[in-house]
Amino acid sequence: MIRKPSAGGLQASRKRKAAVKGAAGAASPAKGKGPGKAKAPATLGPAEIEEIFRRFAARNPEPKGELEHINPFTLLVAVVLSAQATDAGVNKATRALFQAADTPEKMVALGEEKVRDFIKTIGLFNTKAKNVIALSQQLIAEHNGIVPSTREALETLPGVGRKTANVVLNIAYGQETMAVDTHIFRVGNRTGLAPGKTPLEVETRLEAVVPKPYRLHAHHWLILHGRYTCTALKPRCPLCPIADLCRWPDKTASVPPP
């Protein structure tokens, strides 16, 4: 004869299982923990954010984008080509391309096949060549060959998304936009400067917290910081100018403030 456990016994058994499960969970390391994947740090305060950008500005008063271009059109093309590619790789391909075609009219005359030959060292070059020709045609048809200065108009062009539009608006037209790429997304979350689960959340947060005097150059400083200092796998925390302000709990070393 098998005896059924009493209600009190079942309750005690469940409590014991819950206690064991909780202890195991506390002892287990967090999934995905590592460079760039640590639990989100606390958000930085206004004074700390002000100090971060003060230091960036002191070190590099006039930061520049690293994509080589001649005019707003070639900038637009370069940014479109830079998707899933390095700036260095894009520059290597576009130096010759822009010598041959630096306006929408010249690009259309060059043709998709020749554009493809110029950029064949860049990832997704087939699709990108089609987009370059298509956006050039649209610029001629709808904007008299001039790159528009609004995000809405830019985002109607083939191959142009929000990030690309923000880069063009910032560099070509001096607008205070935040082009959130993988570097800015990482820096915003890792430091506690602008936490967000999506690039748009990080962009919106940056627009809300970056002090007015620093907004024009903010995205350049953050991109360069993420590209050369706050890198994904091996962040160079000992050399970081904002290490004492950064809230990331897994810094590679602690350093005194500069």
- What are the extents of the domains in the chain? 46-63+178-239, 72-173
As a whole number of Å, the end-to-end CA separation of the chain is 77
Q: What is the C-alpha separation between 233 and 160, in angstroms, rounded?
A: 29
Q: What is the mean pLDDT of residues 206-235?
A: 96
Q: Supply φ then ψ for residue 100, to 5 degrees.
A: -85, -30
147-181 pLDDT, tens per residue?
999 999 999 999 999 999 999 999 999 999 999 99
Computed over every residue of the chain, the mean pLDDT equals 86
100-124 pLDDT, tens per residue?
999 999 999 999 999 999 999 998 9
Q: Which amino acid is at 29?
A: P
The fraction of the chain above a pLDDT of 90, given in percent, is: 78
The pLDDT value recorded for residue 251 is 87
Annotate 153-221 with DSSP letters as a single string.
HHTTSTT--HHHHHHHHHHHH--------HHHHHHHHHHSSS--SSHHHHHHHHHHHS-GGGTTTHHHH
The pLDDT value recorded for residue 38 is 47
> Annotated binding residues, as ranges?
230, 237, 240, 246
The pLDDT value recorded for residue 43 is 82
CB count in 10 Å sphere of residue 145: 14
Q: What is the mean pLDDT of residues 31-60?
A: 76
Q: Regarding the domain delimited by 72-173, which CATH topology (the fold level of the hierarchy) does it fall under?
A: Endonuclease III; domain 1 (1.10.340)
Q: Supply φ then ψ for residue 86, to 5 degrees.
A: -85, 155
- Which residues are annotated as catalytic? 163, 181
Report domain 46-63+178-239's class. mainly alpha
Asked if residue 10 has pLDDT above 50, the reply is: no
63-91 pLDDT, tens per residue?
999 999 999 999 999 999 999 899 999 99
> Annotated binding residues for [4Fe-4S] cluster, as ranges?
230, 237, 240, 246
Q: What is the pTM of this model?
A: 0.79
